[in-house]
Chains A and B, each alone.
Chain A
Amino acid sequence: MIKSSPNLFTNPHTYQKNYYCEYLVVGTGPGGSVAGELLSKNGKEVIFIEEGGFYPPQACSSNIGGMTAQLYRNSGVLPFLGQPSFAFAEGCCVGGGSVINGGLLWRTPPWILEEWQQKYGLQGYSEKDLAKHFERIESRLHVVKHTLETDANLDSAILAKGADKLGWKHVLVPRAVKNCINKNFCATGCPIGTKQSMLETYLLQALNHDAKLFSGLKATKILWKAKKATCVIAESVNTPNKELITFHFDKLILAGGAIQTPHLLRRSHCSKLGGKKLEFHINLKIVAKFPEPIESEKGTIFTVQVQEFEKEGTLFMASNMRPHYLAVTLAHFGNAIIDKALNEYPHYGIYATMIKPNSKARIVSILGKHPLIWYQFDPADVIIIKKALRQSAKLLFASGACELYMPIGGTQAFHSFDKFDKMLDNISAKHLEMISVHAMASCPMGDTHQSVVNQEGRLNGYDNIYITDASVLPSNIGESPQGTIMAFASEIMARHLKG
């Protein structure tokens, strides 16, 4: 567990004005951490820069609002503008998304890898090729599957029972945890370090191999000459006086995520294609009331996933439960409903339906150092969403729910599937309450004219810029992307180190 390290620097006021290294890694999420660790382990001189702050487990409190403000970009408020607009939640801290996610670690669905091979010409990224990386990652992150307990995670257990009743496929979720004791603080930083984020694993190892990490610095510009990047200008964040630090390097690894990486490239005039298309998942949160108490708060996030419609890109699972999240999810129903739910708290659970939409976003980079994300809602997604909500309602009623509160404005509680089914035909996109937590495919890898990086993860047109985050995935994978990001980062670095 990182508590401190002589190679970890957290106060931008103490930084030099210039640094020189062999490899600069921008971003310390899963993609950046894997890249930096592999490079440093192979004797390369590595510097990480990270926009967010450093919050080791002992700095993570039970104060949900405060921790959300510290660990997430814009305190969890990053709008995707469109009709309807919705919030995107992205980690912005040392360790990136791995500090605030549920620790799920899936392998890439095989049909997705086949599609990438056929449609985008990917070679060496098949299920067989990536297996060695996944095995190593799963071992390093101590990936285990929860068993269904009798005294915790009852919201997941009840979902599994509902799926059994319908004959729907469900699986125990593989999670990167070591001795998880169900403290249920995954989304605001595991306070005891049992969730195996990058802080506990790859970053720690990288620092032990003499990599240096400077936090509180946002990369704002890449300077380049003759198609070779020469340095990155970084600006201090949340400091009274702005500090500008220049990092000079031989090679640049970009891993700031599917939004920040293409934004930096566009601002630096390194890529016109990067960020032109951004793919994402849509999460629909449903609140369900059960006749018997299920004590959803007792347990961790997502231990069961219903995968009956996985190939359509629709997944169901229990979500994390706290009064905060319950109130936010029920906000559009009004305070009377929130009060009722708080009074009967043990009977309630929050469930997430994740879909893979056709809608695409784009990153607008002309407004300064922060990107604006604009998306076009594809009308076909209303059909996908309605279908997913019908499936969710069927599943939750089969699980024994007596009331459902759906992510649809202007509705009340539903007590039967038939009543909900009838109402659903009348809704349109503007009624939907959506959020997103996964973005990807903004700098897609491949051999097509729309590809931004080549098969080695190198930015087209540049000798020394590589990308190892979710941007390089060629398209939407329809599953939590951390495992795929790490496997791709491993393969990209393996090819690079091989020369």
Chain B
Amino acid sequence: MLKKAVSLLVKDNLASLRYFQAHHSIGSHEKIVGFVAAIIRRLPWFYRFPMMLLGTVIVLLDAVHFKNNADNLPNFIKKIPFYNMFNKLVKATTFLVLFDICSND
């Protein structure tokens, strides 16, 4: 569930980034998601569990209502405590690894 949630947010964060569209190859997205998810899994439990819970909520809502498109997450989800922190973490760690993956591909 966590990896799926991270995948949705990574996709959302990179969808409009032309650099990524121009430089990525098959497998780039999965490598980035793997890296970000691994970092979250290594966090202390009091950060990790709320993120995993929130991730589960995002994935379930996406699956039930929005057909796998994180762009259509309703605003109330973004107001849930920790959402901004979660997305900020995903975005920052995505950017930290993006250029290494795209240049190695």
Hey, which bits of chain A sit against chain B, CB under 8 A?
62-66, 68-69, 74-77, 79, 85, 87, 322-324, 327-328, 331, 334-336, 338-339, 342, 367-368, 370, 372
- Whether A331 and B100, one on each chain, are in contact in the complex, defined by CB atoms closer than 8 angstroms, is no
Across the two chains, which residue of chain B brings its CB closest to A372? B46
Q: A74-B43, A74-B44 provided; 10 other pairs, C-beta below 8 A?
A: A65-B35, A65-B100, A65-B101, A74-B42, A75-B39, A75-B93, A79-B47, A324-B95, A324-B98, A339-B17
Hey, which bits of chain B sit against chain A, CB under 8 A?
13-14, 16-19, 35, 38-39, 42-47, 85, 88-89, 91-93, 95-101, 104
- Whether A85 and B100, one on each chain, are in contact in the complex, defined by CB atoms closer than 8 angstroms, is no
Which of chain A's residues have a CB closer than 8 A to the CB of B44? 74, 367-368, 370, 372
Which of chain A's residues have a CB closer than 8 A to the CB of B104? 63
User: In the complex the two chains form, what is the Cα distance from A342 to B17 in whole Å?
Assistant: 11
User: In the complex the two chains form, what is the Cα distance from A359 to B91 in whole Å?
Assistant: 27
Which of chain A's residues have a CB closer than 8 A to the CB of B88? 331
User: What 8 A-B pairs have minimum CB-CB distances, sorted nearest first?
Assistant: A65-B97, A370-B44, A327-B95, A335-B17, A65-B96, A75-B39, A335-B16, A323-B99
Which of chain A's residues have a CB closer than 8 A to the CB of B92? 77, 87, 328, 331
* Set B17, B95, B100: member contacting A66, Cβ < 8 A: B100
- Whether B19 and A338, one on each chain, are in contact in the complex, defined by CB atoms closer than 8 angstroms, is yes
User: In the complex the two chains form, what is the Cα distance from A322 to B39 in whole Å?
Assistant: 21
- Whether A77 and B98, one on each chain, are in contact in the complex, defined by CB atoms closer than 8 angstroms, is no
Chain A, interface SS category: helix
Interface centre among B18, B92, B95 (most CB of A within 10 A): B95
Which of chain A's residues have a CB closer than 8 A to the CB of B98? 65, 324, 327
Which of chain B's residues have a CB closer than 8 A to the CB of A65? 35, 93, 96-98, 100-101
- Whether A328 and B19, one on each chain, are in contact in the complex, defined by CB atoms closer than 8 angstroms, is no
User: In the complex the two chains form, what is the Cα distance from A410 to B46 in whole Å?
Assistant: 29
Across the two chains, which residue of chain A brings its CB closest to B85? A85
User: In the complex the two chains form, what is the Cα distance from A337 to B35 in whole Å?
Assistant: 24
Which of chain B's residues have a CB closer than 8 A to the CB of A339? 17-19
User: In the complex the two chains form, what is the Cα distance from A452 to B1 in whole Å?
Assistant: 45
- Whether B99 and A64, one on each chain, are in contact in the complex, defined by CB atoms closer than 8 angstroms, is yes
> What are 27 A-B interface contacts by the 8 Å CB criterion?
A63-B100, A64-B96, A65-B96, A65-B97, A68-B96, A69-B38, A69-B39, A74-B39, A74-B43, A75-B93, A79-B47, A323-B99, A324-B97, A324-B98, A327-B95, A327-B99, A328-B96, A331-B88, A331-B92, A331-B95, A335-B14, A335-B16, A335-B18, A336-B16, A338-B19, A367-B46, A372-B46
- Whether B97 and A338, one on each chain, are in contact in the complex, defined by CB atoms closer than 8 angstroms, is no
- Whether B85 and A324, one on each chain, are in contact in the complex, defined by CB atoms closer than 8 angstroms, is no
Which of chain A's residues have a CB closer than 8 A to the CB of B85? 79, 85
